[in-house]
Amino acid sequence: MRTILLGPPGAGKGTQAETIVREFNIPHISTGDMFRYNLKQGTELGVKAKEYMNKGLLVPDELVVAMVEDRLKNEDCANGFLLDGFPRTVIQAEALDVVLSKIGVHLNKVVNIEVNPELLVKRAVGRRICKECGATFHVDFNPSSKGSECEKCSGSLYQRDDDTEETVSKRIQVYTSETQPLIDYYDKKGILAVVDGDQPINIVSETIIKVLKED
Ligand code: AP5
Ligand code: MG
Ligand code: ZN
């Protein structure tokens, strides 16, 4: 299964990815997570990316494309992958097409998670992430049963630097102008599926898995 999760900030891409990659036994490739990991390690790429991320802006295409190309060549992608947060511009989508044709594979489906815009800021601002295992929670919609600790591994939960109301609003604007055109891009290729992301997390997961298995 080679698939992409499209959707605005807070749509539930990362949350849904956790279930989908387990179901299909494929790696979860989140460019946002890769940048955050790089920053934690103090790499040059991480430091550069942070400048853009904390302003709610996109990291320049050439940096992202090189990083993803490298990742897709990894052996664990041989039987498929789930891309989360990439591509995010038409230039990135075209670059991905080139990379995949070089490898000799094609995308099965692109899933667009649609969410009522009014919910997005609430979802992102209330998000909490486990420092140890990366599990995602929400203070109201999906709280950890252990309060400020992760219910899976007891790690402490933190809030992302770019999850302030102001930065989330900027990220949504950038999504609308830069990333939304990709809905049309993949629809024209005949591989787009639209899923209602306003529903509870488990219902959205079931719907996405069903859509992916239709292939
Ligand atoms: P990235 O980390 O990808 O952030 P994003 O796309 O803005 O998306 P989010 O991670 O905020 O949302 P999500 O859809 O994953 O939602 P989640 O599942 O966590 O990118 C960050 C930055 O990195 C970018 O701004 C950019 O600077 C840079 N970047 C990354 N990729 C790039 C690229 N390709 N090109 C250039 N720059 C790039 O859910 C959110 C919350 O809602 C959680 O708390 C969750 O528990 C809750 N929730 C989820 N689903 C539901 C539901 N169904 N009902 C109720 N609550 C729910
Ligand atoms: Mg995410
Ligand atoms: Zn954890």
- Domain assignment present for 158: yes
Q: Is 127 tagged catalytic?
A: yes
Q: Whose CA is nearest to atom 5 of ligand 1?
A: 9
For residue 133, the enclosing domain spans 127-162
Q: Is 213 tagged catalytic?
A: no
* 11 Cβ closer than 6 Å to some ligand 1 atom: yes
Whichever domain contains 18, its CATH number is 3.40.50.300
Same domain, 7 and 103: yes
Same domain, 199 and 99: yes
Same domain, 113 and 135: no
- Domain assignment present for 122: no
Same domain, 105 and 181: yes
pLDDT by 10s per residue, the chain, length 215: 999 999 999 999 999 999 999 999 999 999 999 999 999 999 999 999 999 999 999 999 999 999 999 999 999 999 999 999 999 999 999 999 999 999 999 999 999 999 999 899 999 999 999 999 999 999 999 999 999 999 999 999 999 999 999 999 999 999 999 999 999 999 999 999 999 999 999 999 999 999 999 96
pTM: 0.97
Same domain, 88 and 133: no
- Going from the Cα of 154 to the center of ligand 2, the distance in angstroms, rounded, reads 21
Q: In the 3-class helix/strand/coil scheme, how is the chain assigned residue by residue? A: CEEEEECCCCCCHHHHHHHHHHHHCCCEEEHHHHHHHHHHHCCHHHHHHHHHHCCCCCCCHHHHHHHHHHHHCCHHHCCCEEEECCCCCHHHHHHHHHHHHHHCCCCCEEEEEECCHHHHHHHHHCEEEECCCCCEEECCCECCCECCECCCCCCEEECCCCCCHHHHHHHHHHHHHHHCHHHHHHHHCCCEEEEECCCCHHHHHHHHHHHHHCC
Domains held by the chain: number: 2
Same domain, 132 and 204: no
Same domain, 151 and 70: no
